[in-house]
Amino acid sequence: MENQIENIINQITEIYQNKAVTPKYLKYLEEENLKEDLEDAPETVKKVVKACEELNIRQYSGFIHVESDYYDWELQRRALRVMAPSKEHMCKTVVMENTRCSVNDMKDPLNSKYYAVCVQYTSKLNTQKLMNFVRSLKNKTISKKHYNFRLASPEKSAELTGFDKNGVCPIGTTEKIPVIITEEMSKLDPPIFYLGAGDVDWKWRVSIDAFIKATNCWIVDLS
């Protein structure tokens, strides 16, 4: 039975990736995005919507209200619920803290104490690669002893972003945080991914190209 389900899922993914289907699919999403009524959405979600409007990516952004037990489900079921092309399109934003940073703020994106890092649920974040990349931003002029990345505490993440766990979004944040996405995310086909939308029960679907241009994020191999 599991093999049959897996085969069906693979067939669905192949349909989404069909070169004749993908443009029509993306066009359909854009049209549906602009029809959304988010008047009753939580205030934190509205912050993300406002950020999308300010970044001129509202037409490339869709918002999905999911069930309260959504995170009790397996990843594949969650992907089907939000109509993601595959479970690889399911992503999250985590706030990474450089505990040994030579500064205590985010004024310089090239040497920030915190970074909002977007990763796929199907991948693991390699903190060594993250450290190597961030250190390269200053041409390795800062000693390695000033780098040690770890996941920021839930309290610190909420303080910086304004969002709680499973609702963290890299835009619309309380503080402006430098954004990094993984190289694998940038290559997803079709070119969309799903992230938290400011509330645990809301998800954000966004065009990859639009996201990259709007956020000026770095694209990094972190696997």
Cα gap 67→55, rounded to integer Å:
28
Domain residue ranges in the chain: 2-220
DSSP string, 20-85: TTHHHHHHHHHHHHTT---TTS-HHHHHHHHHHHHTT-GGGEEEEE--TTGGGS-HHHHHHHTT-S
CATH among 1.10.760.10, 3.40.50.150, 3.40.50.720, 3.90.960.10 for 2-220: 3.90.960.10
pLDDT in tens, the chain (223 residues): 667 767 877 888 888 888 888 999 999 999 999 999 999 999 999 999 999 999 999 999 999 999 999 999 999 999 999 999 999 999 999 999 999 999 999 999 999 999 999 999 999 999 999 999 999 999 999 999 999 999 999 999 999 999 999 999 999 999 999 999 999 999 999 999 999 999 999 999 999 999 999 999 999 999 9
Say whether pTM exceeds 0.85.
Answer: yes
CB 168 within 8 A of CB 96: no
| pLDDT for 4 | 74
167 closest CA partner among 139, 197, 204 = 197
Copy the structure tokens of residue 99: 């505990």
pLDDT at 160: 99
Pairing of strands 114-120, 91-98: antiparallel
Q: Which of 151, 134, 146, 142 is nearest to 100 (CA)?
A: 146
Neighbours of 143 (CB within 10 A): 10
E strand map for the chain: 61-65, 91-98, 114-120, 149-151, 179-182, 192-196, 202-207, 218-220
Residue 2 has what pLDDT?
Answer: 64
pLDDT of residue 6: 77
Alpha-carbon distance of 98 to 112, in angstroms, equals: 8
